[in-house]
Amino acid sequence: MPEVDFFNLWRWLLFIVGTIYFLVITAQSLYGWYVWLAGGDKYISIVRQYMIVQGLRLRFKTFWGDVLICLLLCVAFLLIGRAHVVINDLGMRLADVHRITQSK
């Protein structure tokens, strides 16, 4: 009978469901904004122009600082995920070694 680690099963299930949820909600939001901003109404064109002007007036020093923080957090998240995989693999190998030494 295979050994099932319910923590890893739950972790991967939560990861898959969370990722799919994030992608669906983000795509719906972006599509909604696109449809709303693509309207031909006079006031919508004013909003589009306002957004373009605000985008051009963006202060890049503070903006890129926030982008750098987001990238560093993503790198930390990936490192933690990789460490979890390595620790899980190490645990499986140690269990195999323990099982082999017990059978001798």
Exposed/middle/buried for residue 62 (C-beta within 10 Å: 0-12, 13-18, 19+): exposed
**Averaged over 89-100, what is the pLDDT?**
89
- Dist. CA 62–CA 53, nearest whole Å: 17
- The 3-state secondary structure of 25-42, one letter per residue: HHHHHHHHHHHHHCCCCH
CB contact at 8 A, 37 and 48: yes
72 — pLDDT class (breaks 50, 70, 90): very high
In this predicted structure, what is the pLDDT of residue 42? 87
- Dist. CA 18–CA 10, nearest whole Å: 12
Q: Whole-model pTM above 0.85?
A: no
| Statement: residue 32 has pLDDT above 90 | yes
- Dist. CA 80–CA 88, nearest whole Å: 12
Q: Where are the domains of the chain?
A: 1-58, 60-104
Query: What are the structure tokens assigned to 81, written together?
Result: 């995920």
